[in-house]
Homo-oligomer: A and B are copies of this chain.
């Protein structure tokens, strides 16, 4: 006889709360940097991957700074439409924040082709010209993160926060290590190969939900 498949009875509005309880339970004695717990746990919630308890690196005071910046009407820049789609628009609007992604703009594709660079590189240059305060949430392209580093170093942009969580196998690890060398730019970085557009979006949401009014 087939084993019965059992569903837990949980009210829709309780599912996320119950998920976070399970994550907290399973983290057990793992030590997280005080104040970063909502970010770390949301990354685990988004991926079911407890590696995020170990690989997330936070610059000193980054959470407090990020919340202050979100409270002053920041613009979040993503390197994929997917990350942009994943960020909570209602909460962004309530805070007077914006979100932008240049990756699908026809002129970006054209310029990238002409120069032999990725669209991500051109996207970062366009984003650098936006009025601040700017938060960069990079979940896909290491070339975006590397070029963002170069733009910071050359003084072309001064981000208030870099969320550096591209995923993959080619230049992903060193692109993140570059961000970790920045001394004047607050960052949240997923060290190693892991990350993604989903992780970039969920870190934005974790920060947004820490703002007054919660989710």
Chain A residues with CB under 8 Å of chain B are 2, 5-8, 10-12, 15, 18-19, 22-23, 45-49, 80-86, 112, 116-118, 143, 146, 167-172, 174-175, 177-178, 181, 192-198, 201
Number of copies: 2
The complex places the Cα of A12 from the Cα of B143 at a distance, in Å, of: 9
Return chain B residues, CB-CB under 8 Å to A84: 85
The complex places the Cα of A18 from the Cα of B178 at a distance, in Å, of: 21
A12-B117, A197-B198 as given contacts; A7 in contact with B82, CB under 8 Å: no
Return chain B residues, CB-CB under 8 Å to A174: 5-7
Q: Can you pick out 11 interface pairs between chain A and chain B where the beta carbons lie within 8 Å of each other? A: A8-B170, A11-B116, A12-B117, A19-B170, A22-B169, A23-B169, A46-B167, A48-B192, A49-B194, A82-B83, A196-B196
Return chain B residues, CB-CB under 8 Å to A83: 82
The complex places the Cα of A177 from the Cα of B118 at a distance, in Å, of: 41
B7 contacts A48, CB within 8 Å? no
How far, in Å, is A117 (CB) from chain B's closest CB?
6
A19 contacts B82, CB within 8 Å? no
B5 contacts A168, CB within 8 Å? no
Return chain B residues, CB-CB under 8 Å to A6: 174
A5 contacts B178, CB within 8 Å? yes
B170 contacts A22, CB within 8 Å? yes
A5 contacts B181, CB within 8 Å? yes
Return chain B residues, CB-CB under 8 Å to A82: 82-83, 85-86, 197-198, 201
A5 contacts B170, CB within 8 Å? no
The complex places the Cα of A175 from the Cα of B8 at a distance, in Å, of: 10
Q: 5 closest Cβ contacts across the A-B interface?
A: A85-B85, A48-B193, A82-B86, A19-B169, A22-B169
